[in-house]
Structure formats: C-alpha cells, structure tokens
C-alpha cells in the first residue's frame, strides 16, 4: 500500500515554481521509486534466480525446438512410447503416437506462456480501466460498478468459461478472451482501492496546491503509484492464467490436437503414467518451475515496490 | 442480526443468482446457429423434447420467463447425451459422491490448515515454522492435475497401498487419494493465512496483558487469540469452497469418480448443452448461497460487519 516513505519520496520532486519542474525532476531521477525498487529487487536472490530461470525457459520454448529433427505433429512409428534416448534424438522420449516429446513440450510451453501473457494482459487492461474509472468517478457510479463486480466475483468463473467454450466452440483466441475476461476482477478492485486512497493523499493535495494540472497529477503521481501494484499483480496473474489454461486443456476443453500445451501434455502423461512416467515428468517439471518462478518474481516485486507489505 | 441475515440472503444473494441466470440465458443465445444446434446427430425425440422444453418456437421473453419458472421448480430439462434421463436424474445420481469428496476435503483443509498455521505461528522462525511454510509454499503452487498423477504413481503403482482410481460407493480406501489431492492447496493457503494473522494477534497488547496476568498459553490461545486470528480464514472459506468444487472436476476425472465434476466435463466434451447449462447454474447457486452463509457467519463473529 502507500507508505509514508513512498509519499515522502513522491513529495520531493514537487517544485516550488512550475519552471523548476523539469530540472528538479531530472535531478532526483536516481532516487526515484523505480530505482529504489530495482535495487531492492536485485537484492532478492530468490526473485533474481527465478527471473534468470524463467528467461531460460522462455528462450528454450522459443528457440530450442529448432535443432531437433522432429516435427511436433509427426508420428515416428518405429519409436512409439519410448523413454528418452539420444540415438533417435527423442531427448524427452515419445508419446503413444510416437510424437517427439521434447518438441511438443517446448511447443506446449510456447502456447501456455502465450495464453498466460495475453490472458494477463487482457485482465490487466480491463481491470485497470474499470478500477481507475470507478475510483476516479466515485459516488453512485462507483457503488454500482463495484456491486456489479461483486456479483461477477461470486460466480464460479471456471464453470462459466467452460459453458462458453461448450456453446461457442474451443478456439484458441476464445480461450485467451474468456480467461482474461473473467480474471480482471481482483485487478479492478485493487486499482480502485489504490486510486481512491491516492486521490486523498497529502502529496496529491500538495501537488494540487502547487498548481499541477489534473492531468499532471494523474500521470506523475497516481499512475506511477498504481503501476507498481499493477505490475505485481500482473506478474501473479500470469501463473494463474497458465494454470487456468492447463486446467482447461487437461480436461480436454482447451487447446485441441494436434496443437498442445502443458496442460494437454499433462493429461496424456497422466493417462500413460504407469508405462511412461517421463511423459508426465517433463511437462510437469516445466509447468511447476514456471509457476514457481512467477510466484517468486511476483513476491519479489511486491517486496521491492511495497517495503512495508512484507 | 435477523435483519442482517435477511439482507444478505434475500436482498443480495437472490438478485445475484438472477443476474447469473439472466447472463447465461442470453449468452448462450448468442452462440452461432442457436443455443441447441450441434453437428452431432441428435436422436429426434431428444431434439423434440429440447425444443418443447426450451420453448424454442416462442418469442425470447416467453422463453426467458418459462426458463425462470422451470429453474424455480428446480427443473433442468432433458439430457442430450443420455436420452432417457433428465439432467435432474443424472445430477441426483452423481451428487452423493461429490458431496462426500468435497465435504471431507473442506473439513480436512480447514482443520489441518489452521492447526499447521497456529503451530508455525507459535514456533515462529524455528525449523518447524520454516518446514511448514516451505511445504505450504509448494502446496500453493503445485496444481492438482500434477499432484494427482504423481500421488497415484507413488501410492498406487509403486507402493500399491491405495487404489489408483474408482469409487466403489465411497469406501475409505478409495477416498484417501482424491481427498488428499483436493485439499492440499487449501491446507497450504489456510496455513499461510492462519500463520500470518496469528502472529499479528499474538503481538497485540491484549495478549501481552493476558500473559502478564499469568494465564496459561493454551488458555490464551483458545479464549483470546483464536477467534480474531480466524477471521481472515473465514473470509477465505468462500473462495476455498469455489476452488474445491472446481478442483473436484479434475480430481473426479482423474480418479474416475462418478460425481458432478465428471458429469460436467463429460457434458462439456459431448456438448450436452442442457447438462452444462444446468450444472453451471446449480453450482453458481450453491456458490452464491455458500458465500452468503460465510458472510453471515462472519457477521456472527465480528459484529462490525453487520453495520
């Protein structure tokens, strides 16, 4: 939340004269909220390590399928259901149709990460807009908007999404949209709360007294403060989006064959667990590692941006 | 207090339910080709039953009102997939297994979670605390569709202690693994919440006063600390309930339990529209009702909420 320290830090750039604004703003760049946050984040070993591992996973998913001689949907009839081996270049083994699991795991990762990022983006955009609007307008509009949000929040969203996918077909873009569209509620609530409390903060009043325009207050004081929280929750949203997609795909309701995602791979792996545990192990390893990384990064960001929120 | 209950149940829960029903009703009418057209050939008697049931020959507002009246009577219509059954028959047949599974998971999650959280709070910054919180961290992140096959591999296939699936009318042996998978996430979350709030409560002045009076620790915990420390846990019960219902979908599919979750997934995979629609509304109603109950419970414990 807003600590007195953040408030004080944001007080500093306020100029006594409008003309000094730019010069002062530049002279304190080195000690801005973001620089401080970066310093604190870099000290957090778990978060930093997670960032590196996550970067590796993203790079792997993006490029590492290239050296493999196999295509993701190409059955290798001589090597069905084999354990990982180097001779045939099936580095993670093959599935029951003889498709190469290494390529499929990385491709699945690409889909999962994409759904995670895009779903989170949709949720962040809707949530921030909705929350900021409610917070700024206040009054009757605010209470109606929040009531609507509460109603939505009391639905079991997973079932609604499955309902939508049943009636409208299982398209990939629909998954993005549906997942994002039901996940913005927390974001909206957080942004609204932030906006409401920021509106009444002393440093905002001080800025107003100094003659900073409404637009200036929003861009210089409200947005940077809200951005921190948004960044934290966006980071925490991505893994929940990935989980959401994996859940759908695991049930066979998400990504459809021959395309795949970590959830879809897990479903196949779970079926073949007795005969071929590696079919489960590799996608599960990637998925769980990714989830851990996002969680650590999110926690690290929260600590970095909100020193008091520990 | 009665006024509060009335307000929460009648003035808030009922309109919410109405919104849910209305939204689903109109959403599915936006579906391409009409809500009940499938590419799969439908037995003509089912198609006729559905057309009559959902009044597809009448104007939309009459469809809507008729639909509301049916729901008010608890009538969800015929199933597409099983042409001799209505959705109601199938749901009633599946409900006991899901109820048993969910109840066990919910109760165990609360009891074990609170116990672990309190223990960790009392032994703050010792190895007990660290190991409880470490396990909880893993439990929060690990999805149940990874845990289910992993536990089945270890306990059913390698050790052969428990069956890897099936239900057999809910014998204890068959319940253990599904319940463990279902409740682990909530144990972890509840433990984390309890630990945090317990540490905060234990640091507050009135607990120090009670200690200074020389009251025994157990008594302080039970009489003074537990109630305020459990408030955040109670507000988590609503989300936990939703999560356990959602999670039971995965658990029931994996372990082959003939419950509501499996009914729902099969309905969605087979495009059994009335089934999916009916279950969404039923589960929505359950959730809304449960959230209202949790709020009332919260109001009983914390009088400030009632205002």
Q: Please write down the HEC assignment for all residues of B172-207.
A: HHHHHHHHHHHHHHHHHHHHHHHHHHHHHHHCCHHH
Task: Say whether B250 and A274 touch across the interface (CB within 8 A).
Answer: no
Which of B17, B146, B196 should we substitute to test contact with A (largest number of A Cβ atoms within 10 Å)? B146
B residues 110-149 near A, CB within 8 Å?
A: 140-143, 145-146, 148-149
Q: Kindly report the nearest CA distance between residue B236 and chain A, in angstroms.
A: 13
Query: What's the average model confidence in pLDDT over A219-244?
Result: 82
B20 touches chain A (CB under 8 A): yes
Sign of dihedral through CA atoms A155, A156, A162, A163?
negative
Given B28, B32, B268, which is nearest A162 (Cβ)? B268
- pLDDT of A6: 53
Query: What's the average model confidence in pLDDT over B191-211?
Result: 91
- Among the listed ranges A1-15, A156-170, B77-91, B135-149, which one has the minimum average pLDDT value? A1-15
Q: Tokens at residue B122, please?
A: 């009392």
- pLDDT of A31: 58
Condensed to tens digits (0 to 9), the pLDDT of residues A118-155 reads 888 888 888 888 888 888 777 888 888 888 887 777 77
Given A166, A273, A284, which is nearest B271 (Cβ)? A166
Nearest alpha-carbon partner for A48 in A299, A258, A307: A299
B241 touches chain A (CB under 8 A): no
Report chain B residues whose CB lies below 8 A from the CB of A288.
Answer: 141-143, 146
A residues 156-195 near B, CB within 8 Å?
A: 156, 158-160, 162-169
Sign of dihedral through CA atoms B281, B283, B286, B292?
negative
A113 touches chain B (CB under 8 A): no
Confidence band for B106, pLDDT divided at 50, 70 and 90:
very high
Residue A218, classified by CB atoms within 10 Å of its CB into exposed (0-12), middle (13-18) or buried (19+), is: middle
Condensed to tens digits (0 to 9), the pLDDT of residues B31-74 reads 766 666 665 666 777 777 777 766 677 777 888 888 888 888 87
Task: Say whether B148 and A270 touch across the interface (CB within 8 A).
Answer: yes
Residue A113, classified by CB atoms within 10 Å of its CB into exposed (0-12), middle (13-18) or buried (19+), is: buried
Task: Say whether B149 and A151 touch across the interface (CB within 8 A).
Answer: no
- pLDDT of A63: 83
Q: Tokens at residue B87, please?
A: 């959705």
Report chain A residues whose CB lies below 8 A from the CB of B266.
Answer: none
Is it the case that residue A22 has pLDDT exceeding 70? no
Residue A208: φ, ψ to 5° = -65, -40
pTM comes to 0.79
A203 touches chain B (CB under 8 A): no
Q: Count H helices, E strands: chain A?
A: 14, 0
Given B142, B145, B242, which is nearest A266 (Cβ)? B145
ipTM field: 0.78
- pLDDT of B191: 93
Nearest alpha-carbon partner for A50 in A198, A236, A309: A236
pLDDT > 70: percent of chain A = 86
A251 touches chain B (CB under 8 A): yes
Q: Kindly report the nearest CA distance between residue B276 and chain A, in angstroms.
A: 6
B151 touches chain A (CB under 8 A): no
User: For residue A93, what are the CA distances in angstroms to A75, A90, A196, A260?
Assistant: 12, 5, 54, 16
- pLDDT of A198: 82
b/e sequence B8-22, b meaning 16+ C-beta within 10 Å: bbeebbeebbebbbe
- Rounded to whole angstroms, the Cα distance separating B3 from A128 reads 36
Q: CA nearest B242 in A: which residue?
A: A156
């Amino acid at each position: 939340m807003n600590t007195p320290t953040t408030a004080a830090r944001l007080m500093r750039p306020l100029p006594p004269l409008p003309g000094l604004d730019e010069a002062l703003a530049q002279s304190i760049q080195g000690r801005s909220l973001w620089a401080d946050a970066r310093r604190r984040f870099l000290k957090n070993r778990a978060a930093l390590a997670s960032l590196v591992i996550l970067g590796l996973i993203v790079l792997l998913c993006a490029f590492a399928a290239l050296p493999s001689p196999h295509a993701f949907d190409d059955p290798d009839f001589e090597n069905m259901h084999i354990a990982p081996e180097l001779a045939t270049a099936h580095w993670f083994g093959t599935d029951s149709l003889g498709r190469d699991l290494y390529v499929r795991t990385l491709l699945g990762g690409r889909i999962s990460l994409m759904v995670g990022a895009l779903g989170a983006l949709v949720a962040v955009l809707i949530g921030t807009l909705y929350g900021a609007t409610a917070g700024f307008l206040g009054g009757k509009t605010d209470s109606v908007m929040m009531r609507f949000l509460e109603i939505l929040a009391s639905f079991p969203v997973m079932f609604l999404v499955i309902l939508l996918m049943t009636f409208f077909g299982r398209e990939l873009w629909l998954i993005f949209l549906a997942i994002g569209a039901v996940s913005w509620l927390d974001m909206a609530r957080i942004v609204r709360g932030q906006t409401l409390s920021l509106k009444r903060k002393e440093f905002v009043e001080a800025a107003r007294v100094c003659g900073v325009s409404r637009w200036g207050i929003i861009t210089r004081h409200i947005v940077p403060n809200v951005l921190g929280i948004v960044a934290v929750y966006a980071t925490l949203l991505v893994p929940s989006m990935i989980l959401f997609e994996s859940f759908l795909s695991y049930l066979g309701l998400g990504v459809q064959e021959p395309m795949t995602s970590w959830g879809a791979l897990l479903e196949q792996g779970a079926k073949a667990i007795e005969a071929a545990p590696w079919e489960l192990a590799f996608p599960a390893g990637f998925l769980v590692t990714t989830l851990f990384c996002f969680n650590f990064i999110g926690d690290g960001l929260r600590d970095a941006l909100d020193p008091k929120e520990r | 207090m009665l006024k509060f209950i009335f307000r929460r149940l009648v003035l808030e829960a009922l309109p919410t339910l109405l919104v849910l029903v209305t939204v689903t009703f109109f959403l599915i009418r936006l579906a391409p080709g009409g809500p009940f057209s499938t590419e799969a050939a439908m037995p003509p008697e089912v198609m006729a039953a559905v057309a009559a049931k959902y009044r597809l020959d009448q104007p939309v507002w009459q469809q809507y009102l008729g639909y509301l009246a049916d729901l008010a009577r608890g009538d969800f219509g015929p199933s597409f997939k099983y042409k001799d059954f209505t959705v109601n028959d199938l749901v009633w047949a599946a409900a006991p297994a899901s109820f048993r599974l969910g109840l066990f998971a919910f109760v165990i999650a609360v009891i074990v979670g609170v116990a672990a959280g309190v223990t960790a709070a009392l032994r703050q910054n010792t190895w007990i605390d660290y190991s409880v919180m470490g396990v909880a961290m893993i439990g929060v992140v690990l999805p149940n569709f990874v845990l289910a096959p992993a536990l089945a591999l270890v306990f059913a296939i390698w050790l052969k202690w428990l069956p890897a699936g099936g239900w057999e009318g809910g014998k204890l042996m068959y319940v253990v693994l599904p319940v463990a998978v279902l409740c682990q996430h909530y144990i972890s979350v509840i433990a984390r919440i309890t630990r945090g709030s317990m540490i905060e409560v234990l640091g507050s002045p009135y607990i120090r006063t009670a200690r200074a009076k020389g009251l025994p620790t157990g008594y302080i915990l039970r009489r003074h600390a537990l109630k305020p420390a459990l408030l955040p846990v109670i507000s988590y019960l609503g989300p936990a309930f939703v999560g356990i219902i959602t999670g039971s979908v995965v658990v029931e599919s994996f372990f082959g339990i003939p419950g509501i979750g499996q009914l729902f997934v099969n309905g969605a995979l087979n495009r059994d529209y009335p089934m999916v629609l009916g279950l969404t509304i039923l589960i929505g109603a359950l959730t809304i009702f449960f959230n209202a109950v949790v709020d009332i419970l919260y109001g009983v414990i914390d009088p400030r909420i009632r205002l």
